[in-house]
């Protein structure tokens, strides 16, 4: 039996914004920056805390974890395949169990993030994981690209009454339409992404961000990047992404499947700083004369001259 602490509720306003915890995401709000810890903690709460600390220093808005029930998420034909791990040569199923945090771990993460004044939430890969996360009143649920077609999982997240983020990698437009139809656009965050780890610049397809905004006008569109560098994630903000997510790590050479496509903590600091710079530079699209231009105008602007009459 799960201990149910409190269940979150969705709040929206008329300007196409959704409230996640104590932050608004959407029109007129700062870009919501997510440092995805995922499973890069390798089952260590100490490593997880160090990455939370790094995300706080970087100025991220939230950190994200992943929650699975290994017996459900690992296909039967893969469960007994052996692989080399930090715990020795063990089956894939046993490895997945070792990198999963349980109740005590997440209770500690919940306490630690509250102390550090940073939001946390999780990608849930199966229905029992959604039920598990209800215990912690997380402000947002995410469904991964791999699970986008899981109607039961989508329904379970919708029924929490909490905002839902869907990731759109490895998906057709028809599959995205179906998922959006099941969840509804209200309180929905849609992350454009390409499911390659790491992803080449040629396959990022950032022009999909405004396409998704036009197609789902009541949803909030952002970007989840798996590329190696930072400039393209900043470009996604210039393309209109209202939230961004990048995997983070203490060191890209650490053991783990997601480490190579992750950003080290100093890189997250640079990323957030550049995102905030681009936010300031975007403006409102209304042409205006700034006070800082007046001296240059007074000095350099030519007077309006009578146009020369053209000979007939």
Q: For the chain, what are the domain ranges?
A: 11-287
Q: What is the second-level CATH architecture of the domain 11-287?
A: Alpha-Beta Barrel (3.20)
pLDDT exceeds 70 at position 12: no
Q: How confident is the model at residue 67 (pLDDT cuts 50, 70, 90)?
A: very high
pLDDT exceeds 90 at position 46: yes
pLDDT value for 1: 36
Q: State how far the Cα of 271 lies from the Cα of 269, in Å rounded to an integer.
A: 5
pLDDT value for 13: 66
Cβ(186)–Cβ(249) under 8 Å? no
Q: State how far the Cα of 108 lies from the Cα of 48, in Å rounded to an integer.
A: 10
Q: Average per-residue pLDDT in the chain?
A: 92
Strands (E), 144-227: 164-167, 188-192, 220-225
Question: Residues 81-109: what's their mean pLDDT?
Answer: 93
pLDDT exceeds 70 at position 74: yes
Q: State how far the Cα of 145 lies from the Cα of 167, in Å rounded to an integer.
A: 5
Question: Residues 56-66: what's their mean pLDDT?
Answer: 98
Question: Residues 226-251: what's their mean pLDDT?
Answer: 96
pLDDT value for 9: 61
pLDDT exceeds 90 at position 258: no
Report DSSP state, residue 138: -
What's the Cα-to-Cα distance from 233 to each of 165, 189, 255, rounded to whole Å? 18, 17, 24
pLDDT for 170-184, tens place per residue?
999 999 999 999 999
Cβ(44)–Cβ(258) under 8 Å? no
Percent of the chain having pLDDT more than 70? Answer: 93
Q: How confident is the model at residue 312 (pLDDT cuts 50, 70, 90)?
A: low
């Amino acid at each position: 039996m799960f201990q149910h602490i409190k269940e979150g509720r969705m709040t929206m306003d008329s300007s196409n914004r959704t409230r996640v915890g104590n932050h608004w995401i959407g029109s007129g709000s700062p870009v919501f920056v997510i440092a995805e810890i995922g499973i890069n903690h390798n089952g260590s709460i100490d490593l997880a805390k160090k990455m939370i600390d790094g995300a706080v220093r970087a100025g991220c808005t939230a950190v994200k974890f992943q929650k699975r029930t290994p017996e459900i998420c690992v296909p039967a034909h893969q469960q007994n395949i052996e692989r080399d791990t930090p715990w020795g040569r063990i089956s894939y199923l046993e490895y997945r169990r070792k990198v999963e945090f349980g109740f005590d771990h997440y209770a500690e993460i919940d306490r630690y993030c509250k102390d550090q004044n940073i939001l946390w939430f999780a990608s849930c890969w199966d229905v029992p994981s959604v039920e598990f996360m209800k215990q912690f009143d997380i402000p947002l649920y995410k469904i991964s690209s791999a699970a986008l077609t899981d109607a039961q999982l989508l329904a379970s997240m919708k029924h929490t009454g909490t905002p839902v983020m869907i990731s759109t990698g490895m998906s057709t437009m028809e599959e995205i339409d179906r998922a959006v139809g099941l969840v509804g656009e209200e309180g929905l965050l849609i992350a454009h992404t390409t499911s390659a780890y790491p992803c080449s610049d040629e396959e990022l397809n950032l022009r999909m961000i405004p396409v998704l905004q036009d197609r789902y006008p009541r949803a909030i569109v952002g970007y989840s990047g798996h590329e190696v560098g930072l400039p393209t994630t900043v470009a996604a903000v210039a393309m209109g992404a209202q939230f961004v997510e990048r995997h983070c790590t203490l060191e890209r050479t650490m053991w783990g499947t997601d480490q190579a496509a992750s950003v080290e903590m100093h890189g997250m600091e640079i990323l957030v700083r550049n995102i905030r710079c681009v936010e300031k530079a975007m403006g409102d699209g209304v042409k205006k004369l700034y006070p800082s231009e007046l001296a240059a105008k007074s000095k350099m602007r030519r007077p309006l001259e009578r146009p020369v009459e053209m000979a007939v």
